[in-house]
Amino acid sequence: MLNVEVLTLFPELVEQVVRHGIPRKAVECGALALRTRNFRDYGAAGDRRVDDRTYGGGPGMVLDAESLARTVAAAKAALGPAAKVIALSPQGARLDQHWVRRLATETALVLVCGRYEGWDERAAGLFDAEVSLGDFVLSGGELAAMAMVDALARLLPGAVGDQASVEYDSFSAGLLDHPHYTRPEVWRGAAVPEVLLSGDHARIARWRLKQALGVTWLKRPDLLADLELSDEQRRLLREYIAETGMDQPGAAAPAKD
Ligand code: SAH
């Protein structure tokens, strides 16, 4: 059971994440509980104002440290001292599947969503970690927290009907997922690879592994560089490269400007 509290100025936005799909199922089956807490209910100024101007001048407002500290304290009081406090920040460690897997084993998480220019730097000591969704700037931490809750929910037991589907996902084994097909067998002249209709499970497993290695080589060669491939995996990748006639990894990566 994972208890998550999201600290935010926009609780009604965050709550949407458990209204649909797998996160909703995770809540319904008791694997996940999501609560929100509004900084404004803990405003240090005695009103609902929790932001102030930035010292040194310049544009933008900052969440004040005391309101944030009080909100974090309330969340920890509700969840227990073991709760890990994670702040969403573009300056944090990039969220990846390793992080998600590690966090999914926790029992309680407090996710702190900044707004405006972020929070008073002196509040940063309240966080066990800072996590970023990527190298771009959102206007608030809510979408990042929602993305985290979604990624966590699908790893919790009971949330996804067939856990095998999660194990084969992109990144689970350090590789991207193999391609998937569904009916019809021929769509606008393009046929489903014959092996997938063969019923030969060993051949299908070999094909899928080869494709996973191949698409990772094509689209994310940086991921492959981090892996120690077995002899069999190396052989499969060589086959893939020979079959597709490509000799340059990263050929399918999106062009950077
Ligand atoms: N001035 C800050 C950005 C503030 S953006 C800076 O440049 O570091 C406002 C809030 O949006 C942040 O406090 C953070 O909670 C959230 N946020 C913005 N980009 C994010 C990202 N890439 N990942 C996670 N949270 C992000």
- Read off the pLDDT of residues 19-36 as tens digits, 9 standing for 90 and up: 999 999 999 999 999 999
> Per-residue pLDDT tens for 119-135?
999 999 999 999 999 99
> pLDDT tens across 51-78, in order?
999 999 999 999 999 999 999 999 999 9
In this structure, which residue's CA is closest to atom 22 in ligand 1? 90
pLDDT tier at 257 (50, 70, 90 boundaries)?
A: low
Give the pLDDT band (50/70/90) at residue 195: very high
Could you say which architecture CATH assigns to the domain 2-155? 3-Layer(aba) Sandwich (3.40)
Q: Active-site residue among 66, 90, 130, 177?
A: 90
Residue 12 burial (CB count, 10 A): 9
Q: How far apart are CA 25 and CA 28, in angstroms?
A: 5
Taking the CA of residue 134 as reference, the ligand 1 atom at the shortest distance is 22
183 is annotated as an active-site residue: no
Task: Give SS3 for 102.
Answer: helix
Q: What is the pLDDT of residues 150-194, one digit of tens each?
A: 999 999 998 887 777 888 788 888 999 999 999 999 999 999 999
Active site residue 90: yes
Report whether pLDDT(84) > 80: yes
Residue 40's pLDDT is what? 98
Pocket test for ligand 1, best of 50, 61, 86, 138 (most atoms within 8 A of CB): 138
What dihedral do alpha carbons 17, 22, 28, 33 form, nearest 10°? -50
pLDDT of amino acid 210: 98
Computed on alpha carbons and rounded to an integer, the radius of gyration of the chain in Å comes to: 23
Active site residue 154: yes
Amino acid at 137: V
Among 138-147, 202-211, 246-255, the minimum mean pLDDT is found in 246-255
Ligand 1 pocket, mutate which of 8, 51, 89 (most atoms under 8 A from CB): 89
Query: Which residue's C-alpha comes closest to atom 11 of ligand 1?
Result: 140
Strands (DSSP E) along 57-134, which ranges? 61-63, 84-94, 108-113, 129-132
Domain ranges of the chain: 2-155, 186-244
Residue 163 near residue 18 (C-beta atoms within 8 A): no
Kind of pairing between the strands at 2-8 and 32-38:
parallel
Contact 210, 236 (CB under 8 A): yes
Say what the pLDDT of residue 177 is.
96
Q: Could you say which of 64, 120, 142, 154 is catalytic? A: 154
Task: Output the pLDDT for position 222.
Answer: 96
- pTM of the complete model: 0.93
User: Does residue 252 have a pLDDT over 70?
Assistant: no
Q: Which residues line ligand 1 (CB under 6 A)?
A: 88-91, 113-115, 117-118, 132-134, 136-138, 140-141, 144
Average pLDDT over residues 43-53: 94
CATH number listed for the domain at residues 186-244: 1.10.1270.20
